[in-house]
Structure 1
Amino acid sequence: MDKKDFNEGLLGFLDASPTPFHATNNMKMMLQNAGFLRLYEEQKWRLDEGKKYYIIRNDSSLIAFTYSKNKNYVMVGAHTDSPNLKLKPNSVIKEHGVVKFGVEPYGGLLLNPWFDRDLSLAGRVSYLDSNNTIKDTLIDVKKKIAIIPSLAIHLDEKANSERTINKQTDILPILTTNDDFNFEDFIKWQLEKNDIRDAKEIYANELSFYDTQKASYVGLRDDFIASARLDNLLSCYVGLLSICSVEASTPMMFIANDHEEVGSESTSGASGSFLENTLRRMYPDYEDYIQMLRSSTLISADNAHAVHPNYPSKHDKEHSPKMNKGAVIKINANQRYASNSKTISKFMNIASNLGEEYQQFVTRSDIGCGSTIGPLTATRLGIETIDVGLPTLGMHSIRELAGSEDAHSLYKIILGYTL
């Protein structure tokens, strides 16, 4: 796949995936189009060599794999979630002439960029149908229904120097001046748009606000891609396209976990059992299972901090990744990243043989280092792992920025592991 088609597909994927549920559903459809068959964890598996499969857990995490006689799997791991504002259960607040929604920040999001944005709402809703059965469905309002207005500088003269944001009181989106607003009626209206007309009662929901501005190219030469949720749908897309591009006889796996932004400790997170359960069912013989793990490689793909041209001092001078200069190998002496000299060397060798650029990132020694699903998975399974990422600015903002060259380059390097 050439870079233009790759990036056009990426923009569409980003726009169609406002939540982990939607991202997972979109990946499911792409896998089905590529000939992958769905497995269900609650059913007995009968795997056939030379076929391709996928599994979904919690509607928000996905694993896809080819079933090959070869045990040296190339695994690509990413995460489906991004920082956002999630709706609270009793969310409707009516005061001061408007209707507001109570929200709770999810993950380590930058709050300032959320002000004065056209927001919509999407996620999963559970309801009771006419047969007294609890069902789940995804909704995406799409309409620009809310905004978080800034406080005018006239009312806060120190806004540009000292303003802080209170997560409980300052970031509540306003929806309407209509005091008759009813949340259950609103949700039923959204269900009707999905041709669901027998919802007797609305139960729980997992709904998140998102920016309605579309993903787009930015720059004089379309140098950049700007979008919400680049961290980490960018890596999800790279991993997904990679496994869809190989033959069924090629041993490969793609893992997209939820809840990385809040620590990965959930049934669908990387600290959970999803991947291990899947691998044990693929290789029920323990000797085969261990042989597969020790002959395979995990590429943990999560965005990397590009050097900010206005804040270069925030980076180690010798390890300052630049956008459109290749994928980033992430290294940390304290094992916040799982890369080691063996896995790094293999990545370097494959990239060099393909003529693809690569960079290395080490955080400043006096600045804390984030982590990824890489160390979690390496610890749990004992699989050789490398942490890589694509250089990004504005990470955890409502709109992030990445180079338009880098994702396609990483895609080619991952495919190079299969040659």
Structure 2
Amino acid sequence: MGFGKKKSGLSQVNAWIKAKSRKSMREKDSSSASSIGSRRKESTSTSVGNLTNEFLDFLDQTPSPWHVAAVSKKKLLQSGFVELKESQDWNIKPNMKFFFQREALTAAFVVGSDWKPGNEFCPVAGHIDSPGLRLRQKSDISHDGSIKISMEMYGGGLWHTWFDRELTLSGLAIIRTPSGQMEKKLVTLDRPVGSIPNLCVHLGVDELKDGFKPRKEDHMNMILGRSKTSDPKKEYPTSLIGKHPQELLLLIAQHLNVQAADIVDLDLCFSTYQNANVGGINDEYIYSGRLDNLTTCYERVSLLL
């Protein structure tokens, strides 16, 4: 099933894009000199500056593969592309633009004026997933009143760079509606939710001598906070209790405006709570995570618009 079939999915990404746009961030954070939004550079009058700012916005709006699919869909629809459904017959015509989605995959194409069935075509491709940390299917390792979760290492990441960073969660949630149907909703916790802390320097003497070599299963755990509940199963009878901390499920439920008991499944990944930005003495660099893959996604979609 293609992602974003329901109107609610598209309205979610519209709200997310609006919230994360450069203009909205400046307006939202104008009262705080130390805010991330206020540290961003203003758009310049040159085409290069405008394109750079558009790309920075794209990076901020796509913290997970699901967000990449949703933002790409919005851009394609705004540019006159027609969405196709794999469950329906396709009526392909010359001088038209089409796309379809399957989960987080997006395939878009432009039909030329001389096209005929059987003609050759020229494909370009990019991939939307990046090495990073993802929420395990069973993540809860809380103990002694400390809310902790274990994470899955996805791909070949530089894992030491994730320590001592403000991290947030985003991705997809499967929700059971009042009618009993399953619905997909984007999750965007637009706030830091935890970190993977290092030891203080005087407790890490061996690491200073031998180099920092984290053990994935022991050290790559996130601390979310301190627990304030005693019997989570009693008040929130969801199948995910015992798999994920109750406090995390409640936070996601509040964000989605649903009941915690209606959350059926989660596909979430972590990202740093830091906006993409330009830097360097001549503004020649872009600072952001996920650059290796999202650059190709932005370029491929933009070429078709």
The TM-score normalised by the length of structure 1 is 0.55
8 A contact 1:130–1:200 mirrored in 2: no
| Cα RMSD, aligned residues only | 1.7
Tell me if 1:206 matches 2:267.
yes
Tell me if 1:185 matches 2:230.
no
8 A contact 1:130–1:199 mirrored in 2: no
TM-fit CA distance, 1:200: 4.9
The 1:136–1:231 alpha-carbon spacing in structure 2 relative to 1, beyond 3 Å, is same
TM-fit CA distance, 1:3: 1.9
TM-fit CA distance, 1:96: 4.2
> For residues 322-374 of structure 1, what are the alpha-carbon distances to aligned partners after superposition, in whole Å with 9 as ceiling and x for unaligned?
xxxxxxxxxxxxxxxxxxxxxxxxxxxxxxxxxxxxxxxxxxxxxxxxxxxxx
Partner of 1:405 in structure 2?
none
8 A contact 1:127–1:200 mirrored in 2: no
> For residues 170-217 of structure 1, what are the alpha-carbon distances to aligned partners after superposition, in whole Å with 9 as ceiling and x for unaligned?
01111111242614323211211xxxx467522121101110111011
Looking at structure 2, the residues matched to 205 and 198 of structure 1 have their Cα atoms a distance apart, in angstroms, of 14
Partner of 2:8 in structure 1?
none
Q: Tell me, which stretches of 5 or more residues in structure 2 are unaligned?
A: 1-45, 230-244
Tell me if 1:135 matches 2:180.
no
8 A contact 2:253–2:259 mirrored in 1: no
Partner of 1:61 in structure 2?
105
- Give the partner amino acid of 1:152: C
Partner of 2:220 in structure 1?
171
8 A contact 1:122–1:139 mirrored in 2: yes
Q: Secondary structure at the match of 1:144?
A: coil
User: As a proportion of its length, which structure holds more helix?
Assistant: 2
Looking at structure 1, the residues matched to 92 and 189 of structure 2 have their Cα atoms a distance apart, in angstroms, of 39
Looking at structure 2, the residues matched to 143 and 214 of structure 1 have their Cα atoms a distance apart, in angstroms, of 12
Aligned residue pair count: 239
Partner of 1:18 in structure 2?
63
8 A contact 2:147–2:225 mirrored in 1: yes
Pick one of 282, 285, 295 that aligns with 1:224. Answer: 285
- Give the partner amino acid of 1:190: H
8 A contact 1:99–1:179 mirrored in 2: no
- Give the partner amino acid of 1:42: S
Written as runs of structure 1 = structure 2, the 5 A alignment for 1:191-340 is 191-192=256-257, 197=258, 200-244=261-305
Q: Secondary structure at the match of 2:140?
A: strand
Identity of aligned residues (%): 29
TM-fit CA distance, 1:51: 0.8
TM-fit CA distance, 1:97: 4.0
Q: Secondary structure at the match of 1:95?
A: coil
Q: Tell me, which stretches of 5 or more residues in structure 1 are unaligned?
A: 245-419
> For residues 101-128 of structure 1, what are the alpha-carbon distances to aligned partners after superposition, in whole Å with 9 as ceiling and x for unaligned?
1111011010011001011000011121
Looking at structure 2, the residues matched to 158 and 223 of structure 1 have their Cα atoms a distance apart, in angstroms, of 38
Q: Secondary structure at the match of 1:41?
A: coil
8 A contact 2:195–2:222 mirrored in 1: yes
Partner of 1:48 in structure 2?
93
8 A contact 1:52–1:67 mirrored in 2: yes
Looking at structure 2, the residues matched to 200 and 155 of structure 1 have their Cα atoms a distance apart, in angstroms, of 42
Q: Secondary structure at the match of 2:70?
A: helix
Looking at structure 2, the residues matched to 236 and 185 of structure 1 have their Cα atoms a distance apart, in angstroms, of 33
Tell me if 1:114 matches 2:162.
yes
The 1:168–1:198 alpha-carbon spacing in structure 2 relative to 1, beyond 3 Å, is closer
Q: Secondary structure at the match of 2:227?
A: coil
8 A contact 1:114–1:148 mirrored in 2: yes
Looking at structure 1, the residues matched to 275 and 207 of structure 2 have their Cα atoms a distance apart, in angstroms, of 29
Looking at structure 2, the residues matched to 159 and 96 of structure 1 have their Cα atoms a distance apart, in angstroms, of 27
8 A contact 1:36–1:53 mirrored in 2: yes
Q: Secondary structure at the match of 1:43?
A: coil
Pick one of 196, 202, 205 that aligns with 1:157. Answer: 205
> For residues 3-32 of structure 1, what are the alpha-carbon distances to aligned partners after superposition, in whole Å with 9 as ceiling and x for unaligned?
222111100000000001001110110111
TM-fit CA distance, 1:145: 0.9
Partner of 1:84 in structure 2?
132
Looking at structure 2, the residues matched to 185 and 212 of structure 1 have their Cα atoms a distance apart, in angstroms, of 20
Q: Secondary structure at the match of 1:78?
A: coil
The 1:42–1:74 alpha-carbon spacing in structure 2 relative to 1, beyond 3 Å, is same
8 A contact 2:250–2:260 mirrored in 1: no
Tell me if 1:104 matches 2:152.
yes
Q: Secondary structure at the match of 2:221?
A: coil
Looking at structure 2, the residues matched to 83 and 179 of structure 1 have their Cα atoms a distance apart, in angstroms, of 33
8 A contact 1:148–1:171 mirrored in 2: yes
